[in-house]
Amino acid sequence: MAAMFRHKGRDLMPSRVIDIVDPVIPLPIDELYPQKMPLKVEIGSGNGRFMVSRAATHPDVNYLAIERMLGRVRKLDRRATHLGLGNIRVLRLEAFYALYYLLPHHGVKTVYVFFPDPWPKRRHNSRRLFSPLFLDALWHCLEVGGCVQVATDHLAYFAQIKNHLSADERFKEIPAMERTTDEQTDFEMLFRGQGLPIGQCAFQSLPVKKEVPLVPMTLPPEMLPRAQVGSVD
């Protein structure tokens, strides 16, 4: 499923970007990576600073970067290709859609959500990622015992995220991970350079007595799969 595209001035190189064949069938994860290993996913990977560093230092884990912005996808893809990282794949898609439909049921060990868009204007708060439906999708894709790692500089949004997760019996709070300087995102380095506080938390997925399956839903056009990377000439 890996695409092929031409880097300007170079021969054809394998792309880490996943071509979506069917937008409502889970990705065949075992076919996308050279080896079957634990799967960890980052939502909103940006230029890939965290993802590329993590994949390079943890070759025993498969990583999936989810990012909507085409320019960022291309840059992340080039960095992973240049470093020869076989354990990283990139998905250009709305994060909620990916979790709801495409990730394997209870097949993800960790989901990283670093500096999600806070949509600070009150009239836009409903667009924030951490909604009740997102928590449903998150729990369904995480392994039992898996976790979500969160960081944001927007402290009001951080408090809201913690409140949502703390109130959900399917999750319990655990210590947040420590990240090296190389693993800090571009946004984080900017915020820390300005002396802004960073809110960090982590929550572990718990078993439930009766699992309620996700129901099919109609999604707005902006959530549907985007065009793939294609040629960059």
Is 117 designated active site?
yes
Quote the CA–CA distance of 32 and 84 in Å, as a whole number: 15
User: Residues 108, 110, 116, 118: what is their CA dihedral angle, to the nearest 10 degrees?
Assistant: 100
Count other C-beta atoms under 10 Å from residue 56's C-beta: 17
> Do residues 97 and 223 lie in contact, with contact meaning Cβ atoms separated by under 8 Å?
yes
Count other C-beta atoms under 10 Å from residue 87's C-beta: 22
Q: What is the DSSP letter of 216?
A: P
Quote the CA–CA distance of 70 and 86 in Å, as a whole number: 21
Quote the CA–CA distance of 2 and 69 in Å, as a whole number: 19
Catalytic hit among 117, 168, 186, 233: 117
Quote the CA–CA distance of 102 and 74 in Å, as a whole number: 21
Displacement of CA 85 from its chain's centroid (Å): 17
Tokens of 222: 């902006």
Phi-psi region of 92 (alpha: psi -120 to 50; beta: other; left: phi over 0): beta
Q: What residues are annotated to the active site? A: 117
